[in-house]
Amino acid sequence: MMAPEALNLGFELRILAEGPDVSAARCVADAPVGDYKDLATLREFARGLDVMTFDHEHVPNEHLQTLIAEGVNVQPRPAALIHAQDKLVMRAAIAELGLPNPAWAAVETVDELVAFGDRIGWPIVLKTPRGGYDGKGVRMLDDARQARAASDWFGNGALLAEDKVDFSRELSALVARTPSGEAQGWDVVHTIQVNGVCDEVIAPAKDLPEEVSRAAAAASLKIAEAFGVTGVMAAELFETPGEGAGFVINELAMRPHNTGHWTMNGSITSQFEQHLRAVLDLPLGSTDALAETTVMKNYLGGANQELFTAFLAALAAEPRVKVHAYGKSVRPGRKIGHVNVVSEPGESVDSLRARANTVASLIRDGVPATNSATAEGQAS
């Protein structure tokens, strides 16, 4: 998704691909295959680049530090990226900034985990500090018995224990920042998760108190400035009406993020164009919305394997819905694309969601969503 934006701006991309058949390699001519965890591979890949950046946070931090010492322009820098790589580092840094955190602790034993739960009250959440995403590396614990049953998670260093926040919905505050310090944020959006995976985004978040929206956007910008973030960063938030600032910070991602895919059709500047501008220290584009509301709907792999036929039906059903396919093989539960729909004057959020769900269902299942399925999606 960054490739068309690079082409429009006249930039040449090189992608380190995990395999010859990955979807990104189909979009970029210069796509050597290699292991991003291997320093020698990274050294070779970085030769001649003006800047090296990422579409995930799992590149070893120590390798990035070595590359910088050898003169490679890495953006974001490892000192910033570590806050997206290690949740314990992030929690401590958020606390130091005085921004809203859930109650949390680093725990190295089951006894420490149980003591934490007893102190703040059950239920609690146990997380692996590194490597978790889309609900992986997260365990909900209702009581001390369940905590003791999580003993198999211990033995490889401290884990993160957190209060299970009583929230009304999930939000995301997306920003971009350049190395020279220019920063821009998009509207705070409402994100809907299904089984730990982002399912829908409503931009901007509806009925969000103005003071909460301003505070959430300001918190994201403050984090980006304090941590020295470059490129796009998403601050994932829990809305907590009537409690503290009205939100707490859940996690950070330092890259173009699923909760920002709506910007491809709903904003003057997409997150992918902005990320390129930012890491190259170019002036940032406007983040103004193009319509009152934009809805993004992911579609996962399902029963339908004949995607081309499904695309014909989907495009015919909703000509104003924009389909973005990732070129991935179909596998149940795998993200294989998303759709965006931008509102017409006066159009309701429910109408937008129903239209997006119709297209996603046609692609995923080969048939339109049933009324009950649409209603279920709207109530998620």
Residue numbering of the annotated binding site for ATP: 87, 127, 162-165, 170, 250-251
Those residues whose C-beta lies under 8 Å from the C-beta of residue 258, and which sit 6 or more positions away, are 198, 201, 298, 335, 338
Quote the tokens at residue 232.
């796009």
**Backbone torsions φ then ψ of 331, nearest 5 degrees:** -145, 135
Quote the tokens at residue 56.
């995930």
Strand, helix or coil at 251?
strand
Q: What radius of gyration do the chain's Cα atoms show?
A: 21
Annotated binding site: 87, 127, 162-165, 170, 250-251
**Does residue 287 contact residue 174 with C-beta atoms inside 8 Å?**
no
**Does residue 198 contact residue 258 with C-beta atoms inside 8 Å?**
yes
**Does residue 250 contact residue 270 with C-beta atoms inside 8 Å?**
no
| Alpha-carbon gap, residue 296 to 25, rounded angstroms | 25
C-alpha distances in Å from residue 71, one per residue of 22, 46, 251: 29, 10, 31
Residue 371's Cβ-count burial label (10 Å; 0-12, 13-18, 19+) is exposed
Would residue 244 be called left, alpha or beta, if left means φ above 0 and alpha means ψ between -120 and 50 degrees?
Answer: left
Pairing state between β 138-141 and 159-163 = unpaired
**Backbone torsions φ then ψ of 36, nearest 5 degrees:** -70, -10
